[in-house]
Amino acid sequence: MKVVLDQDKCIGSGQCVLSAPEVFDQRDDDGIAVLLAQPADAGTEEGTREAARICPALAITVAE
Ligand code: SF4
């Protein structure tokens, strides 16, 4: 799995951090998401797929 985050689309809503805190964090100053790491196990991959599904800005792309 490879995750791509488009920070230009992100609106800082934070759902991705709730779904996959190992993969996503938010910048302190403006809340825009940052990619911490690629998912390293099946549970984290599922959380990452969920993040891509629920991101309101469609800023997360997952390639299997
Ligand atoms: S869920 Fe989408 S819009 Fe919200 S912080 Fe994450 S990447 Fe940004």
For 40-63, the pLDDT digits (tens) are 999 999 999 999 999 999 999 999
Question: Ligand 1 mean position to 8 CA, how many Å?
Answer: 11
Q: How many residues comprise the chain? A: 64
> CB neighbours of 13 closer than 8 A, spacing ≥ 6?
55, 56, 57
Ligand 1 pocket list (CB less than 6 A): 10-16, 24, 26, 33, 55-57, 59-60
Q: Calculate how far, in angstroms, residue 49's C-alpha sits from the geometric centre of ligand 1.
A: 13
**Per-residue pLDDT tens over the stretch 10-36:** 999 999 999 999 999 999 999 999 999
- Distance between CA atoms of 38 and 52, rounded to whole angstroms? 13
**Residue nearest atom 6 in ligand 1 by C-alpha distance:** 16
Give the model's confidence band at 39: pLDDT under 50 very low, under 70 low, under 90 confident, else very high.
very high
Q: Kindly report the pTM of this predicted structure.
A: 0.96
Burial 13-48 (b: 16+ CB within 10 A, else e): bebbbebbeebbebeeeeeebeeeeebeeeebbebb
